[in-house]
């Protein structure tokens, strides 16, 4: 890793840690605010699925703090224990957001479909990219094509990060619209849920920006080596 790339990486690591700290702080704070409906995250998820005429998706409990996710492969909404059993603003926001992904899947939301199709390529790229980039940097003066291969692999992961953004923002928008129309929250609770989901989305924004910045650095290194030949 060159000094320039290391510097950019450190900047984004710092930003990422800050956003993660704020996100966890927000969720802990909003976990102490009960929802007026008294529904748990599990009940919120099941109700949102029913209201969207989705009956083939299961709501399960999964281990880990903020490990919540929707799995399109087996059609399950997986909620962390605090969200699954919590009857508070944070739990409602997270549960509705993950169900937003289930609604995307059921309605064939194009960005979700594109992201799913990229998963196999991203898995292969993620397992190879660091070694190819390292070799490319070490052999930059004799075999710059290796670095170009690493850039292509890293570009796949960067593309995946970018495609993830509309998927996540759309899921949050669907969640907030449903929380508003279903009247399971008061307006003040809704505002806090919106704030929590905004900070959650920022983690994806930071990751995408970091990936773009790093990709640009590698491209500049490759172009500089090519011009010297």
Which residues carry out catalysis? Answer: 98
CA-to-CA distance for 154 and 147, rounded, in angstroms? 10
Q: Where are the alpha helices (DSSP H) in the chain?
A: 3-30, 41-51, 81-85, 89-106, 110-138, 144-181, 187-228
CA-to-CA distance for 206 and 61, rounded, in angstroms? 28
CA-to-CA distance for 218 and 151, rounded, in angstroms? 7
């Amino acid at each position: 890793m060159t000094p320039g790339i290391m510097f950019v990486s450190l900047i984004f690591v710092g930003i990422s840690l800050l956003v993660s700290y704020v996100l966890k702080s927000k969720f802990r704070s909003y976990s102490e605010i009960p929802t007026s409906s008294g529904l748990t995250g599990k009940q919120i998820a099941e109700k949102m699925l029913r209201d969207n005429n989705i009956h083939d998706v299961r709501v399960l409990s999964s281990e880990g703090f903020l490990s919540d996710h929707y799995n399109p492969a087996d059609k399950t909404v997986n909620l962390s224990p605090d969200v699954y059993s919590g009857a508070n603003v944070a739990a409602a926001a997270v549960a509705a957001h993950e169900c937003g992904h289930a609604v995307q899947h059921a309605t064939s939301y194009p960005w979700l479909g594109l992201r799913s199709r990229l998963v196999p390529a991203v898995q292969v790229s993620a397992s190879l990219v660091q070694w190819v980039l390292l070799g490319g940097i070490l052999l930059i003066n004799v075999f710059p094509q290796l670095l170009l291969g690493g850039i292509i692999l890293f570009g796949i992961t960067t593309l995946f990060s970018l495609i993830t953004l509309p998927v996540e923002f759309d899921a949050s928008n669907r969640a907030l619209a449903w929380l508003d129309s279903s009247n399971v929250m008061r307006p003040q609770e809704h505002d806090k849920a919106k704030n929590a989901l905004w900070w959650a989305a920022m983690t994806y924004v930071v990751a995408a920006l970091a990936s773009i910045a790093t990709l640009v650095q590698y491209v500049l290194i490759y172009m500089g080596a090519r011009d010297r030949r």
